[in-house]
Structure 1
Amino acid sequence: MAIPKFCLVFALCLIYFVLHTPATVVQDFNHVERCKDSLYMGTPPRGIIDLHLKKICQRYADKPRYVTLYDPRKRIPVYSAYTFKKTEGDRRVDYPWMYEPQLAEVDGNGNMMPFPTGYLHMKFEDSQAVLDDYSDVVLYERGHLNPDQHQSDAHDRAATYTLTNVVPEIREFNIGPWREYEERIRVRLNNYCRGTAYIVTGVTTRGNMIRRNNQDRVAIPEDVWSAYCCTDYDRNAPHDVRIRFPSHGALAKNAKEGSNVHEMTVQELENFLKNHMDVDQNLQIFYDNCISPSPLPLYLHHTI
């Protein structure tokens, strides 16, 4: 049977589109296979004003690992969103640091790449942070938004070591209050989340920058915040744990002192962010506020 000409033309156009569409920097997280799996109900936080922000589907070893909303002008992520994996909490430090080629060019396979030992073209330095931005900085460390200790698979862990997933954090804060909070959440979700836990971790900024060669390079966060959503959890957990499900948030100052992490409801966190981020009044971190689905069918809800 002869294939109609218009079908051949359509097929060729589709192949061209697939081959020439950037695989990581995307128009919508839902447009990339499995990219939206990192988001509760496949839905990113709502209400963030993102005219110049870049949506990155973080790919490593040809597989989407998590998503990042990235600010190429401040050269830091606004947030990274990922699914929590149960783990023993050990940390690895032997992974190479990587960058995101797709922020500067559309060719390539879309995977993050290790920084070369030699020359890196200026176009990459213009679009994102590079290792030199952190090399001579004494006060700050590279703080993961998606931390490796919240991942179990070796490739998932390696994928967290990209500079598009880190922000400058005060050393004392990074290795102190924030690391303690990440461990507390790891233990809580390990023990009491029965299904998939979705986490969004981000920052606020006030205009302070790391400078290099007399140029503003990387924004320094004022606050670091995080929220998780797990609708399938242990209903028999102790009361002080149960009240922190299905969702809960946290907020801390990126500072040497006074940087204790304050846990709060996600709604309280959203109210804070409405006054400290470029967002509108419809800000919602999780779709439908991460409301636990009722175990009863709809026609029985009136009996509750």
Structure 2
Amino acid sequence: MQPLLGSLLLSAVVVHATVVEDFNHVERCKDSLYMGTPPRGIISTTLKKICQRYADKPRYATLYDSKQRIPIYSAYTFKKTEGDRRVDYPWMYEPQLAEIDGDGNMQPFPQGYLHMKFEDSQAVLEDYSNVVMYERGHLNPDQHQSDPHDRAATYTLTNVVPQVREFNIGPWREHEERIRIRLNNYCRGVAFIVTGVTTAGHMIRRHNQDRVAIPEEMWSAYCCTEYDRNAPHDVRIFFPSHAALAKNAKEQNAVHELSVQDLEIYLKNKMAVDQNLQIFYDNCISPSPLPQYLHHTI
């Protein structure tokens, strides 16, 4: 009986730990991914798969680079909202990046000392405290979530990257709002979003040490296979999937919309990925609608 008990206890730890081997279980953020499948082709031998848990519930998935101390992407399901932004949630960190024990939930930063082992594995508030040019830019933004706990869960430093201030409050925020309105009005099912970055070696430094990678570009893609097929043509062309790409810069930072496939072609030359890169399973192929004469059968 003892080996069985040990294996059961081990299973419990694996299910509840935030840093996971894969995302193929509901408790490991499978529901945050289209068809339960993460982006394919990203070379991730040293990257950490984080199931972002808050209040004992999985919220969204993040692929995290502990060396660069930024997320490579966050993947989440869009929730219809009015678009208001909350700023009263505490910033949090991910204990499981530094230690394997704990309940798997992200935790608010303490008021006092945070052990060095946490600084080694992830960004901390001090990394952003004296940088005037950059702001903490969400990959999974709070205005794409409606439940207060889902919104609070976006305020972890494992979900943010340094964004140039003018870009963060300008073109990128406008893009997030444009997608919010589009999915609010025309997505009839669940919309899955993956938002990520490319980097070029530039870092935020603190105490003469490289601390946090500065994204060169931001990219994002969504997949919604159940959408309003009676929408105007200039809307329908953005479904079932579409993508966006922009420079994280003070100038020449316009957000360009493009197909997911064109984004993948671009990223193959900008990221550590192989030729099989695919952001959404089966390219988010929309199932064919039923012919009208068959509607009475369902």
TM-score calculated relative to the size of structure 1: 0.94
Please, which runs of 5 or more residues in structure 2 have no aligned partner? none
Match of 2:172 among 155, 174, 178: 178
How far apart, CA to CA, are the structure 2 residues paired with 1:294 and 1:43? 21
Match of 1:18 among 11, 29, 33: 11
Match of 2:30 among 36, 48, 52: 36
Aligned residues: 291
Q: Which residue of 2 aligns with 1:116?
A: 110
CA apart distance, 1:34: 5.6
1:245 matches 2:254: no
Q: Which residue of 2 aligns with 1:84?
A: 78
Match of 1:194 among 184, 188, 194: 188
Checking the alignment, whether the CA contact within 8 Å between 1:23 and 1:32 is kept in structure 2 is: no
SS in 1 for 2:27: coil
Q: Which residue of 2 aligns with 1:221?
A: 215
How far apart, CA to CA, are the structure 2 residues paired with 1:101 and 1:293? 41
Deviations 1:187-244, CA, capped at 9 Å, x for gaps: 0000000000000000000000000000000000000000000000000111111000
Amino acid at match of 1:35: C
Please, which runs of 5 or more residues in structure 1 have no aligned partner? 1-7
Q: Which residue of 2 aligns with 1:295?
A: 289
Q: How does 1:52-201 map to 2 (within 5 A)?
A: 52-201=46-195
Checking the alignment, whether the CA contact within 8 Å between 1:28 and 1:55 is kept in structure 2 is: yes
Amino acid at match of 1:288: D
Checking the alignment, whether the CA contact within 8 Å between 2:141 and 2:154 is kept in structure 1 is: yes
1:283 matches 2:282: no
Identity between Structure 1 and Structure 2 (%)? 81
Q: Which residue of 2 aligns with 1:48?
A: 42
How far apart, CA to CA, are the structure 1 residues paired with 2:82 and 2:243? 22
Instruction: Name the CA shift for 1:173/1:129 in 2 (closer, same or farther; >3 Å).
Output: same
How far apart, CA to CA, are the structure 2 residues paired with 1:95 and 1:132? 18
Amino acid at match of 2:9: Y
Deviations 1:140-183, CA, capped at 9 Å, x for gaps: 00000000000000000000000000000000000000000000
Q: Which residue of 2 aligns with 1:3?
A: none
Checking the alignment, whether the CA contact within 8 Å between 2:28 and 2:51 is kept in structure 1 is: no
Amino acid at match of 2:148: A
Instruction: Report which of the two structures shows the higher radius of gyration computed on alpha carbons.
Output: 1
